[in-house]
Amino acid sequence: MLVSAIIPAYNASKFIRETLNSVIQQTHRDLEIIVVDDGSTDDTVRIVTEIQKKDSRVTLYRQANQGASVARNLGIEKSKADYIAFLDADDLWHPTKIEKQHDLLVASSDDVGLVYTYSRMIDIDGYIQGHTGACILKRGHAFHYLLVSNFVGNGSTAMVRRKCLPSPKPFDPEQNGNEDIFFYLRIAAKYKVDVVPEFLIGYRWNTGQNNSTNFDRQIFSYESMIGKIRRMYPNIPRRILHWSEAGFYLSYAQTLFKKGRYKQSVTVFLTKVVMTPTFVCTPPFRRLVILAAKASYRKILRIRSERRRYFDMEPGAT
């Protein structure tokens, strides 16, 4: 059954060839591969055009620079499949990613709107840096849980049913940052989610291609998103909103730590997380703190296993 793979790309020449190859090599062959160039000024268009000549499944659309949300919406508009998967232009898919998600979604009831999978963080050379910390096996109605902890993970993990896409615009063009989690939340508010609990994504978290390292923008975009969520779903319990804020800042503190901004990381943790005592007692907090402690221990002591590239590891391995 046809699956649409949608890839927004902006000045992605450094990674787009490897990213596209990871899609072309999927074991699920019935794919339409849609790249939406968002006004790139580098060689992105030339590289995609070159690949397009070798694989007729690849289609390129171009637009003036308007952001990833507008690019994804254009890709959705041009796509034909009932099942849609999204991939950022610097990330990688394991060869079985689409096959496993597609098979699970096809076998599921119609009220399952989204299937996600786990991710490994990789550097610019494709070497594994760890995993995202979002390796949470969550199925069913998970809207409140997703508000507290983004277990879907990033913009390259999800496959969704077309009929479950939010309207009027699947991705909010005004949401500059956190647009992925906003999209997932709007689906989870109405439909169930499911998971393929394997590491099928290589997520480049520190390449300058994503917004996850722009701290001020992340805070602004989170506050914008949570304000929209509160207006759209006014019956969310207050404690869930408090936990959501604390969960965001816990993830924020972890990112600061990874970037070597230790003092600021501790300050954020103490003032924004510990000061929400009801959140400290929740399973998401305990899970994330354990993962953060392990990552911190490895960083401080410079403990490093043998360097392994993303495709050198089996998808089910930790």
Domain span at residue 253 reads 237-301
CA-CA distance, 241 to 144, in Å (whole number)? 9
Scanning the structure block, which residue is given the tokens 């392994």?
Answer: 308
Residue 31 lies in a domain: yes
- C-beta separation of 178 from 234 below 8 A: no
Pair (54, 105) in one structural domain:
yes
Scanning the structure block, which residue is given the tokens 């998600």?
Answer: 101
Residue 146 lies in a domain: yes
Pair (147, 245) in one structural domain:
no
Pair (53, 129) in one structural domain:
yes
Residue 225 lies in a domain: no
CA-CA distance, 28 to 1, in Å (whole number)? 9
* Tens digits of residue pLDDT in 56-96: 999 999 999 999 999 999 999 999 999 999 999 999 999 99
Q: What is the CATH number for 45?
A: 3.90.550.10
Number of domains in the chain: 2
Residue 289 lies in a domain: yes
Pair (67, 163) in one structural domain:
yes
The answer to which of 11-25, 109-123, 154-168, 236-250 has the lowest mean pLDDT is 236-250
Higher per-residue pLDDT: 262 or 172: 172
Pair (121, 41) in one structural domain:
yes
Pair (54, 168) in one structural domain:
yes
Residue 110 lies in a domain: yes
Pair (14, 128) in one structural domain:
yes
Q: Considering the entire predicted model, what is its pTM?
A: 0.86
Residue 113 lies in a domain: yes
Pair (187, 259) in one structural domain:
no
What is the per-residue pLDDT for 263? 81
* Cα–Cα nearest to 87, from 164, 32, 154, 174: 154
* Tens digits of residue pLDDT in 204-230: 976 554 444 566 777 888 889 999 999
